[in-house]
Chains A and B, each alone.
Chain A
């Protein structure tokens, strides 16, 4: 089958559009997360998503409606654990992460074991993405880009040095809360693209690839976005032609980009 033929299918068009927007979302948020050494929050929230999907299935509801609010609460939990209980970020993520997995396994067991649906969320099923999910992805991506644009200097300042940002009057609490909520929603949306198990790859890989190449903060966000969109589009097309799992293919392509960035830095820049 030709590529043009593939592109005529509605489900492939939806996958490419939603995947690209989610890729941009993840990569931009990933830049801030990686630089703040909060990369593994994607993993933690993904595991919380697993628990929320199991709950949704038990309640026979659409996972998106249960997962978005629940994972947002979990993300705030991570923030509070670091602020109030003075836990390190990785420990706070670990607490929420393990709770999410344990809750998911327990709920799946109550529901009579893991079924095909739950597996499709674990490993992704971008080709089954619905029109509503495409619209939500686009709206959220635009929202995130607008928020990042309006708060760019504040976010950069907090990412570089949170204490000084606070001492210059920036409302770090508000911006941190807003940022972590956006990350939570993005993680839930990403579960269809690469699956719960691989979400953190979409947050981390484009950012660390860009980190090898970019010389300024803005350049890093642009390179990360381009890398994410290219990997998602190439991943979807390659997985169709080669009959491979889409989520895993996207992650492998991201890994190739990262290695290429690393080699570029070693060979050309240094």
Chain B
């Protein structure tokens, strides 16, 4: 029986004695493409940080590829795009190439060294995301959308088996956003990359994902997009009309001429 990519069991997280996450349990199988949605402050980013071992849960367990998070060492199997970079200031002197090459470090022993082959790999990813001409530019000099593409490149450059993306499309323009989702779809279908993506773009994400996980401090819904559209809990949250809009945006027979990308 294949090992689950991710198991989260009875997870609780408290901050200043108030519950941020309460009794969260779910599992992710290889090849799943999960849209993690929920209102602001619902604990999505906190959940991701606990999954990656960046925060310690109050109680509960996280297993990555069958290993408890504290014993997990296969970080080269994971790609991560954070919601924001705290230290990213306009003066940060690292070039785009240097930033993307950071994504290859998990595959390296000690001392870590970036080879010419690594640089070629980095350049290929930069071409894929249409930012190869920026490779020598300092990251701080780029626009928000360009920076976001650089960070996406860093997350996928090591060909991860499990990709965790925290609001990756927020700074992207509509055209780039669609191209980005197509890239993720390709990674998921052709390379069987497991994806968990946090997004506020609930309507758009259903076009691509195989499952939806809606949390609001606890799991409200976890299942297929079809079931998401039929779920009473989701109807209760969004209302029947909004749920209908969300669920039928990707229906080619329907034509929504305005707000094509603005379901956030």
A residues contacting B by CB (< 8 A) are 35-37, 149-154, 156-157, 159-170, 211, 214-217, 219-220
Contacts and interface: CB of A to CB of B under 8 A. Distances in A.
A157 B80 CA distance: 13
B143 interface: no
A217 B98 CA distance: 8
A40 to B, nearest CB: 16
A98 to B, nearest CB: 26
Contacts of A151: 111
Given A168-B102, A168-B106, A163 B75 contact: no
Nearest to B97: A216
Nearest to A36: B87
A161 B82 contact: yes
Contacts of A167: 52-54, 75, 78, 80
A153 B105 contact: yes
Contacts of B139: 160
Given A169-B106, A217-B98, A164 B92 contact: no
B: interface residue count bin: 35 or more
A217 B75 contact: no
Interface of B: 49, 52-54, 73, 75-76, 78, 80, 82, 85-88, 91-95, 98-99, 101-103, 105-106, 108, 110-114, 136, 138-139, 154
Contact of B87 (A37, A153, A168, A216): A37
Contact of B102 (A149, A150, A163, A165): A165
A165 B108 CA distance: 13
Given A35-B92, A217-B98, A164 B80 contact: yes
B85 A168 contact: no
B73 A169 contact: yes
Contact of A168 (B98, B99, B103, B114): B103
Given A160-B99, A161-B85, A170 B105 contact: yes
Given A211-B91, A220-B93, 8 more contacts: A153-B102, A161-B82, A161-B85, A167-B52, A168-B78, A168-B80, A168-B102, A168-B103
Nearest to A154: B112
B102 A164 contact: yes
B200 to A, nearest CB: 21
Contacts of B49: 163
A157 B157 CA distance: 15
A220 B91 CA distance: 11
A168 B154 CA distance: 11
B82 A163 contact: yes
Contacts of A164: 80, 82, 85, 102, 154
B99 A153 contact: no
Given A214-B93, A215-B95, A160 B75 contact: no
9 smallest beta-carbon distances between A and B, as pairs: A169-B75, A168-B106, A150-B111, A167-B80, A167-B52, A153-B112, A157-B102, A220-B93, A169-B106
A154 B54 contact: no
Nearest to A220: B93
A144 to B, nearest CB: 15
Nearest to B164: A167
19 contacts: A35-B93, A150-B110, A157-B105, A159-B87, A160-B92, A160-B99, A161-B82, A163-B52, A164-B102, A166-B52, A167-B53, A167-B54, A168-B76, A168-B102, A168-B105, A211-B91, A214-B93, A215-B93, A220-B93
Given A169-B75, A216-B95, A160 B88 contact: yes
